[in-house]
Amino acid sequence: EAQVTQNPRYLITVTGKKLTVTCSQNMNHEYMSWYRQDPGLGLRQIYYSMNVEVTDKGDVPEGYKVSRKEKRNFPLILESPSPNQTSLYFCASSFGTGDGYTFGSGTRLTVV
Amino acid sequence: AQSVTQLGSHVSVSEGALVLLRCNYSSSVPPYLFWYVQYPNQGLQLLLKYTSAATLVKGINGFEAEFKKSETSFHLTKPSAHMSDAAEYFCAVSGSYSSASKIIFGSGTRLSIRP
C-alpha cells in the first residue's frame, strides 16, 4: 500500500530533551515536507526537501532540523524542544507539488 | 507569491442541504489548486485538484469545485450533505508543478452537519 508512515503517533516529552520524529514513504517521491498544524493557523511548512541531500526552510523552521540521506526517509529533529513546539506534525510527500501531497497520519507532540 | 483565504472557519448545514465552502487564492502565475479533507485524528486526504484542465473538477465523495479565474476563487460544493461529511476542509495553492515549489494551505473550515 502506498503510504507515508510517521512515528510515533503520540509523544510527550520534557523541555530540552532531544527527539526525532521519523517519516518514511514508499512511493519513490522526490519531494517531502514537514508541516505543523495549530488551531486557527492551518498548516505551516517547517522544512521541505526536493531530493536526497537537498533541503530548504519553510515558513517556521526555527527550532527544527531535518536531513534527507535517503530518498524514502525525512526525519524531523527537535534538538531542544520547548513548550511552543507542542503541536500536531505532518509529514507529506509528492512527485511534484502540482500533484498534491500524500500525508502521513500525524504525530501529536506535547512538550512540558 | 501564493496565498489562500478560506472564508468562514466554521460552516454548519443540515443533512441533505447544499454544502458550499469558500476559497479565494492569490497567485502571480497560473495556480495549481487543491482541496483536502481531514477527519478527526487523521491526516489530510486529497479531495480534488485543479491543474489547468477542466475548470469544473470532480473529486471523491461527491464533492466538486469550480475554478473561476476572474474571481480568483475555487469554492468547494456538494449538492447534498451527509453526516459522514463532517470534517475539516483545507484549500491549498501551488505556483507550479515543479518540486521546488511550495504548497500553501488555508486556515481550514470546519464543516458540521445537523441531523
Q: Which of A48, A50, A90 sits opposite B44 (nearest CB)?
A: A90
Average pLDDT over chain B reads 90
CA distance B61 to B59: 7
Q: Which three cell numbers stand for residue A72?
A: 524514502
Please answer whether residues A4 and A94 qualify as being in contact, where contact means their C-beta atoms are separated by less than 8 angstroms.
no
Give the residue from A49, A81, A43 showing the smallest Cα distance to A62: A81
Taking the C-alpha atoms of residue B106 and residue B35, their distance in angstroms, rounded to an integer, is 10
Q: What is the pLDDT of residue B98?
A: 59
Answer whether A68's CB lies under 8 Å from A51's CB: yes
Residue B14 contacts A, CB cutoff 8 Å: no
The band of A2, judged by pLDDT with boundaries at 50, 70 and 90, is confident
Size of interface A-B (CB pairs under 8 A): 72
Per-residue pLDDT tens digits for A44-102 = 999 999 889 999 998 899 999 999 999 999 999 999 999 999 999 999 999 876 788 89
**How many Å apart are CA A15 and CA A26, to the nearest integer?**
33
Do strands A54-57 and B10-14 pair parallel, antiparallel, or not at all (unpaired)?
A: unpaired
Report the distance separating Cα B30 and Cα A62, nearest Å.
31
* Of the candidates B93, B89, B115, the residue with the CA atom closest to the CA atom of residue B104: B93
Chain B residues near residue A50 by CB distance under 8 angstroms: 99-100
Cα dist from B106 to A30, A61, A64, A89, B14, whole Å: 24, 19, 22, 16, 24
Helices H / strands E in chain A, number of each: 0, 11
pLDDT beyond 70 at B97: no
The residue of B57, B99, B101 whose CB has the most chain A CBs within 10 angstroms, and thus the best one to mutate to test that interface, is B99
